[in-house]
Amino acid sequence: MEISIGVIGFGRMAKAIISPLLERGEYKPENVFGIVGSNASIPFVLSDLPEGVKIVSSDDAFSREVWNAPLKILAVKPQQLCKVKEFVSPFQSNNQFPKPLLVSVLAGVPLKSLKKAFPGHTCVRSVPNTPSLVGEGLTGLAWDADITSDQKIAVRKIFEPISEIFELPERQLDPFLALTSSGPAYIALVVEAMADGAVAAGLPRNLSNQLAHKTLSGTASLLREKGLHPAELKDMVASPAGTTISALRHLELAGLRSALIEAVVLAAQKSCQLAEEVSS
């Protein structure tokens, strides 16, 4: 029997997850069913998916097929969880074994809340990040206690094409999110500021952007491939009384290091706060 997969919320991350599975033949297009918020969203979602994928709005009778799928990806915004619960209740069943899988990518929503909202499912909490869109992502996973070994394999197959996977205790997912999911925004801000600095110093905008992007990717490759601690690389570049140490001194005086540390901590705290808002 062909295995189907249901997707609730078909935004960029859901597409990043589903597209490689279709390309690799893990699922046939006709066995992929999705729900979006309105009919107006359907043409956009289908625009770069293969023919055969079925996308409907949440109030369409066909949405039953999504909820009947043995594996579902929940990819709506955390604030939409209450609305989703209203639609799923008629399709819940506690009599199946193993229970159908529900893999959530919702930021901050803990397994406890997912299990309460979807009692007929075995729930998995996942934290992928946006570099998954280009197959260079990181994904943290926390399992429901009743998940089977076969279900773990099925979940890993979902994320392996787009990311490196880390199985973590759930308490570590909030800091994982704060570093890996929010982290690309911190890095993008730094890269943008560096390019702005080069423009201020006299380079053309296009060249400044190109050089900033290449400096980022080259530095990441050097750290990874040589196994360097960031402090080692910093010391390699900063020569006595040179340009780099002068710039680093200014960054320390401006509090860049402290600001980035606090940004990660605050993002982790916000993730915990989202969990409280959803459960209240």
Region 51-76 average pLDDT: 88
Please say if the pLDDT value at position 149 is more than 70.
yes
11 with 94, same domain?
yes
Which domain does 46 fall in, by range? Answer: 5-168
Question: CA 162, CA 157: separation in Å to the nearest integer?
Answer: 10
Query: Model confidence at 92, in pLDDT bands (50, 70, 90)?
Result: low
pTM: 0.89
My answer on whether 121 and 214 are in the same domain is: no
- In terms of domains, do 131 and 227 share one? no
Residues 113, 56, single domain; the answer is yes
* Residue 173, domain member (yes or no): no
Domain boundary among 168, 191, 206: 168
Question: Does 185 fall in a domain?
Answer: yes
Same domain, 262 and 187: yes
Question: How far is residue 240 from each of residues 129, 219, 245, measured CA to CA in Å?
Answer: 38, 21, 7
- The pLDDT of residue 97: 62
On whether residue 32 sits in a domain, the answer given is: yes
Same domain for 79 and 108?
Answer: yes
Residues 38 and 151 in one domain: yes
Assess whether 36 and 146 both reside in one domain: yes
Alpha-carbon distance 91 to 118, whole Å?
A: 10
**Residue after which a domain boundary falls, among 141, 168, 195:** 168
Task: Let me know whether 36 and 14 are in one domain.
Answer: yes
197 and 63 belong to one structural domain: no
Q: Quick one: pLDDT at residue 278? A: 66
Structural domain count of the chain: 2
Do 98 and 236 reside in the same domain of the chain? no
Same domain, 12 and 144: yes
Which string of DSSP letters, residue by residue, matches 67-86? HHSSEEEE-S-GGGHHHHHH
Higher pLDDT, 92 or 110: 110
Give the angle subtended at the CA of 16 by the CAs of 167 and 125, to the nearest 5°.
30
Q: Comparing 47-51, 80-84, 163-167, which segment has the lowest mean pLDDT? A: 80-84
Q: Decide if 280 is inside a domain.
A: no
Q: Does residue 176 fall inside a structural domain?
A: no
CA 267/CA 273 separation, integer angstroms: 10
159: domain CATH number is 3.40.50.720
Last residue of a domain, one of 136, 168, 200: 168
